[in-house]
Amino acid sequence: METKKDILKTITRFAQASEWDRVIKEYHKLLAMDPEEITLQNSMGDAYSKLGEHRKAFEHYLKVLDDTQKKGNQTKLNFLYKKIAKLDPRKFDLEGKELHRMILKAVAAKDFFDKEDFENALPALKEAVKYDKSNINLYIMLGEVYEKNTDIGNAVEAYVKALRLMVEKDKKTEALDIAGRILKMEKENVEASAMIAEDLMKNGKKEEAEEMFKDILLTLGDKNLIAEGKEIARRAKEMQVSYGEQFYAYFLFKDGQFDEAKKILEEKYELSIEEKLLMGKIYFKTEEFEKAKTMLLSMDPEVINASDEIMEQIGDVFLKTREYKKASEYQ
C-alpha cells in the first residue's frame, strides 16, 4: 500500500516532467486520505491551473480562500488573490465571475500601491473596498494613501474599518499598531482608545484601563452612539471591568433590548445608584410600575432630592399608578 511519502515522491517526479494530469491523479489519492487538508486544495488548484483547467482550479482555490479569510491571514490572501486573478473566468458561473472581477480590482489596487503610484492607487483602492469589504489590507493601504495626501478624516475612517475587522478576527497585535496610528491623528478616537485600554488591562494596568474605558463609554453615551457603545461595553464586561456590566445594560436599554438589560441587572447582588435608576427606567418601559416604584424609592432620600432626573422618573411612575398626589410631590 502506498504511503503519503511515496505519493509525494511520485508527484514531484510527475511535476518535474510537467505531467500535470498525472500529478492531479496523485493529489486525489492524498485528498482521499485527508479531505480537509487545505494545502492539498491549494496544490490541486495550482496543478489544474498548469493544465489550463481554470474552472477546476478556481473551485479548489475557493476552498483555500474560505479558510484563509476565516483565519485572517493577509499575506496568504494576497498570494492567493494573485493566482486567482491569472485564471480565465470565461467558464465560471455568474457568482464566480463576479468574485473574479472583485479580486482583479484588489490585485490591481495593491499593484499601484506597491509601485508607490498613489495617484492611481487611491481610486483603485476606493473601488476595491466597495467589492471586498472584509479585506483588512485594502483598508490599511487606503488609510496610508489618504495619510500621505494629508486627508486625515478619510485616513482615520479607513484605519477604523481595518481595526474593526482585526478585532472581529482576534488579530490583537496588528490591531494595536493600527490603533496607535489612529490616535496619532485623532487623539479622542474611541475605538482606537478601547483597543489601547484592552491592552492596558491585559498588561495588569487595571486602574488606568478602567479609567480609559469609563471615559470612552461616557463619550459614547453623550454622543448617543448606541451600537459602538454596546460593542465596547460588551468587551469591557468580558474583561471584568468593574462597571462594564452597568454600561452594557445601559446601551442595551438605549437599544430597546429591555429584557436583556433587565436580566443583567437583576442578576447583580447589589446595585449602584446609577444602576437603580437604570433599573427603574427599564421597569417603567416594561410597564412593571410597582417594581419601578420600589426600585427608585429604595434610594436614599438625599440622593433622590438632589437629582432632578430621579425625581422626574419617580413622578412619572406615580402618574402611571394613578397616585396623582404623590406624583405632584416629585414633579
pLDDT attached to residue 71: 77
pLDDT attached to residue 141: 94
**Domain assignment of residue 257, yes or no:** no
Domain boundary at 125, 159, 187, which? 187
pLDDT attached to residue 307: 87
69 and 113 housed in the same domain: no
Q: Does position 4 have pLDDT exceeding 90, yes or no?
A: no
Set of cell numbers at residue 24: 492531479
Give the total number of structural domains in the chain. 3
154 and 67 housed in the same domain: no
130 and 78 housed in the same domain: no
Q: Does position 254 have pLDDT exceeding 90, yes or no?
A: yes
**Domain assignment of residue 293, yes or no:** yes
Supply the range of the domain harboring residue 110: 103-187
**Domain assignment of residue 160, yes or no:** yes
79 and 8 housed in the same domain: yes
Set of cell numbers at residue 252: 442595551
118 and 60 housed in the same domain: no
9 and 28 housed in the same domain: yes
2 and 59 housed in the same domain: yes
**Domain assignment of residue 208, yes or no:** no
pLDDT attached to residue 126: 93
Number of residues assigned to the chain: 331
13 and 82 housed in the same domain: yes
Per the CB < 8 A criterion, the answer to whether 66 and 38 are in contact is no
**Domain assignment of residue 300, yes or no:** yes
pTM of the prediction?
Answer: 0.70
Domain boundary at 187, 212, 236, which? 187
124 and 160 housed in the same domain: yes
CATH number of the domain bearing residue 145: 1.25.40.10
**Domain assignment of residue 75, yes or no:** yes
Burial (CB count <10 Å: 0-12, 13-18, 19+), residue 247: buried
Average of per-residue pLDDT across 180-190 = 90
pLDDT in tens, 18-53: 888 888 888 888 888 888 888 888 888 888 899 899
**Domain assignment of residue 205, yes or no:** no
Domain boundary at 161, 187, 213, which? 187
Set of cell numbers at residue 303: 440622593
Mean pLDDT over the full length of the chain: 88
Among 9, 11, 3, 16, which residue's Cα sits nearest to residue 27?
11
For residue 244, the 8-state DSSP code is H
Round to whole Å and give the CA distance between 103 and 123.
16
CATH number of the domain bearing residue 282: 1.25.40
CB atoms within 10 A of CB 219: 15
For residue 91, the 8-state DSSP code is G
pLDDT attached to residue 1: 66
Angstrom CA distances, 208 to 212, 230, 234, stand at 6, 21, 18
293 and 316 housed in the same domain: yes
**Domain assignment of residue 50, yes or no:** yes
Among 228, 275, 273, 272, which residue's Cα sits nearest to residue 249?
275
6 and 72 housed in the same domain: yes
pLDDT band at 282 (very low <50, low <70, confident <90, very high): very high
Among 137, 177, 172, 184, which residue's Cα sits nearest to residue 158?
137
80 and 108 housed in the same domain: no
For residue 222, the 8-state DSSP code is H
